[in-house]
Amino acid sequence: MQRAREEADLARQRFMQTHPEHRMVADVLEAEWNAKLRALDEAQQELERRRAEIEPTLWRRVDVPLTSTLLALHDIIQVTVGWTDSHLFEFVVGDCLYSELVPDDELVGRKIYDAAGIRLRTLIGRGVERLLYVYDFGDNWRHDVFIEDVRDGEADVDYPAFVAGERRCPPEDVGGVPGFMRFLEAALNPFHDEHEEVLTWYGKPFDRDDIDEHYVRMALTTIANRRRGALMRHRAAE
């Protein structure tokens, strides 16, 4: 959808920059603009349809330090949701895109800001309460990230810290929402023709309600220890 939005905006700019005397050119550009707007509308409708397809909702709640960058938040989402950090990602914050900087982004006209260069504290100070996290541009997994509360942390807790969550995430490379629906149909039905094949591909039985909380807590502890070590080194250098 982001690409459709960018193409519609580009078509609008080309149309607005055309001199009124060049009527034929303007008509062509206006038609292109309208086509891009229709494509954007279709992309938005498709996004809403896909979001509505995964029911019940998969969700996680995590206490995260305000000093965390969006790159750090990416790492936190990966381990709490259950992804393996095997694909590209981006955060959409208003009109801004944040990710790991890739030279090719400039070639296709995408302005990408460094996810390691912006902290949650800065976004919250700007009034941001919701982010869109997109992972794996092929499967196009889109996660709504809500900043529910800002409060003082507890002295005896290392952050980030897992709070709660429900339902296991889709497997990597399953084929987006349609592929996940097909996967569930086969994986959860022992009489399905592709049941054994799907479980062999996945590598183990698929329990939709098991979020592997033990692993999530261990992985977040590793991130918290790494963060604490970095803070200690920074303070020692002061």
Q: Are residues 114 and 63 in the same domain?
A: yes
Provide the pLDDT for residue 111.
Answer: 83
The Cα 179–Cα 142 span in angstroms is 15
CA-wise closest residue to 140 among 73, 203, 92: 92
Separation CA 58–CA 193 (nearest Å): 27
In a domain, 72, yes or no: yes
In a domain, 194, yes or no: no
Give the mean pLDDT per block of 10 residues along the chain (238 residues): 52 51 49 58 58 72 95 96 93 93 63 94 95 93 94 90 94 93 94 96 94 95 82 58
Cβ pair 139, 174 in contact under 8 A: yes
Range of the domain at 26: 2-51
What is the separation of C-alpha 138 from the centre of its chain, rounded to a whole number of angstroms?
Answer: 12
Same domain, 32 and 122: no
pLDDT of residue 92: 95
Residue keyed to tokens 């541009």: 137
Give yes or no: residues 36 and 78 share one domain: no
Tokens matching residue 77: 């989402």
